[in-house]
Amino acid sequence: NEYLTMGETSGSSNKMIGAITVNIFTAKGRGSGANYTIGKRIRDLYNRIVVSGVYFDPPIGPEVVAAPTPEGFFQTRVRMTFETFEDL
């Protein structure tokens, strides 16, 4: 958190920063195309948008996870950071 204004308990603002990680699993041995299609859709959904005052940065990924858990799946992940402002 970052204090944008100092002062009383009202009339002040906090900048709140966070991150979201979306893990995508598809069956191993069926190809990676479906997995990457889902990852691209998630990227397109959250790419530089504002939802209810939450500002999403450009997503990163999909990135392949080397040792997926649980075993037997092909796994990628999409990561995105966001920020919002909290008025006190």
Per-residue pLDDT, 40: 96
Q: How many CB atoms lie within 10 A of CB 52?
A: 5
pLDDT in tens, the chain (88 residues): 555 555 566 667 788 899 999 999 998 888 789 999 999 999 999 999 999 999 999 999 999 998 877 788 999 999 999 999 887 7
Dist CA 17 CA 45 (whole Å): 19
Dist CA 43 CA 62 (whole Å): 8
Strand pairing partners for 13? 87
pTM of the model: 0.74
